[in-house]
Structure formats: C-alpha cells, structure tokens
Amino acid sequence: DAMVIQNPRYQVTQFGKPVTLSCSQTLNHNVMYWYQQKSSQAPKLLFHYYDKDFNNEADTPDNFQSRRPNTSFCFLDIRSPGLGDAAMYLCATSRDVASGRGLTDTQYFGPGTRLTVL
Amino acid sequence: KQEVTQIPAALSVPEGENLVLNCSFTDSAIYNLQWFRQDPGKGLTSLLLIQSSQREQTSGRLNASLDKSSGRSTLYIAASQPGDSATYLCAVRHSNYQLIWGAGTKLIIKP
C-alpha cells in the first residue's frame, strides 16, 4: 500500500548528540512536511518542502535542519538536541492540486518518531 | 491571526451513543478544514476534508459539517464504538500550505 514511512519509530539520543530522523513516501507527493508534537498539544509545523524548495517556519529553531534528496525521502536533522526537543516528530505529505498556487489536497501522516533526549 | 478551538477537551460517552465534536475558527477565509484522528503514541489519520465551498462530507459513520460564516465545524459520530476512542483534531488551511490546528478532543467510548 502507498504510505508514509518513518524510521526509526523510537529514537533515544544524548543531550547535544546529533540525530537524524527519516521519512519516505510512496505516494509521489510533491509536498513534504515535518511537524513536532509534544504531549497533549497540537502538531507544530517546523518546515515543508515544495518539490526541492525549502520553506522554514519563522519560529523554527536553527537547531533543526532538513534535507530532501529526492521526491521520496526527507530527513530531519537535530544538530544539538536539548531536553526540550523530546517530542513526537511527524512527517506528512500532500499533493499540490493548484499548480504551485499553494492549494493542496489532504495531508497524509506517517506513524511518527518518538524522540527521547537523555 | 487564525485561531482554532476545540471544545470539549475531553469527552466520555457510553458505547452506542451518537456524539458531536466541535471545532471553531476565528477567520472565515479558509481553503479547507480537515478532521484527523490520533491514537495514543501514533501518527495522525485523516478522516474527512471539507473544501471551503462545501457544507459537509460523510464517510461511514462520520459526518463533518462546515459553516464558514459562523466559523464552525462539527464532527458527528454515529453509533459510537470503543474503537472510536482516540484524540480528534481539526485543522484549518488558512493560507498556502500552513495548517492551523486545534488542540484536540480526547474521546473515550465506554463499553
């Protein structure tokens, strides 16, 4: 089945030790998103890619970076994780239905990666 | 600034009851509204998406309505089952790719 896959599902890292989370999709969607979700809170958008164009949210810390080497894969790099970065990280994809004018279809989410920082 | 509110924050009902979850938003200039389900420790599953030109969408026992003028959406769940227990989030697409999220309603269906 077409889907959004995230690896690993659970990631433990040490304070300050870089970590990379991965997301892959078989939906061939041109837009990919990374969200951070803390317990009992709504997801918070960190950034998104429209094709290879990177769009960073204004309040996303510099500690968070992303790479999208091709349509199918997207990575979230946390350069120096702090205790406050412990959260669920969700990857999502969607299809642009308006030729770049910013209207997209339903967002499809992966199962998430739960990050623990020791 | 668009804000999305979901009330109540938690709801517990006996199995078999029909129920309504509420979502309100402050700016009626939206592209669409989407309802998601999230099971504990899991990702989000899209349930229904309503375009701004639509009034409602149905999928099985679920029916979502949209009233842009009043800034409200409801998710109606018919004949609730224990498997419906989850957190339900609504999200509004206010502009371009940004989704504005509610904090969710935690639903518990008691057998």
Chain B from 85 to 104: CB within 8 A of any A CB: 89, 91, 93, 95-99, 101-104
A50's CB contacts (< 8 A; 6+ apart) are A30, A31, A96, A100, B97
pLDDT at A60 over 60: yes
DSSP label of B69 = T
Question: Is the distance from CB of A35 to CB of A92 less than 8 angstroms?
Answer: yes
Question: Per DSSP, what are the bridge partners of residue B93?
Answer: B32, B99
Q: Closest partner residue to A43 among B46, B93, B101, by Cβ?
A: B101
How near does any CA of chain A get to the CA of B48, in Å?
A: 9
pLDDT at A102: 47
What is the average per-residue pLDDT within B34-62?
92
Condensed to tens digits (0 to 9), the pLDDT of residues A5-19 reads 999 999 999 999 999
Q: Per-residue pLDDT tens for B52-105?
A: 889 999 999 999 999 999 999 999 999 999 999 999 999 998 766 678 899 999
Interface with chain A: mutation pick from B97, B98, B107, highest number of A CBs within 10 Å: B97
Q: How far is A117 from chain B (nearest CA, A)?
A: 17
Q: Determine contact, residues A117/A86, Cβ cutoff 8 Å.
A: yes
* Closest CB to A42 among B49, B97, B103: B103
CA atoms of A68 and B39, how far apart (whole Å): 28
Tokens linked to B108: 């518990």
Q: Is the pLDDT of residue A59 over 50?
A: yes
Report the pLDDT averaged over residues A80-89. 96
Q: Please give the mean pLDDT across all residues of chain B.
A: 92
pLDDT, residue A98, reads 59
**DSSP for A39-57, written as a single string:** TTS--EEEEEEETTEEEE-
pLDDT above 90 covers a percentage of chain B that reads 78
Joined together, the tokens standing for residue B68 give 């842009």
Question: Nearest CA to CA, how far is B56 from chain A (Å)?
Answer: 16
Confidence of residue A39 (pLDDT cuts 50, 70, 90): confident
3-state helix, strand, coil in chain A (%, to 5): 5, 50, 45
Kindly state the DSSP code that residue A117 receives in the 8-state scheme.
Answer: E
* Chain A residues touching residue B46 (CB < 8 angstroms): 106-109
Query: For residue B40, what pLDDT band results from cuts at 50, 70 and 90?
Result: confident
- The pair of three-digit structure tokens given for residue B107, joined into one six-digit string: 């639903």
What is the per-residue pLDDT for B2? 87
Mean of per-residue pLDDT scores for chain A = 90
Supply A59's token pair.
């309040």
In our burial notation (b when 16+ CB lie closer than 10 A, e otherwise), range A56-89 reads eeeebeeebbbebeebbebbbebeebeeebbbbb
Report pLDDT for A1.
Answer: 63
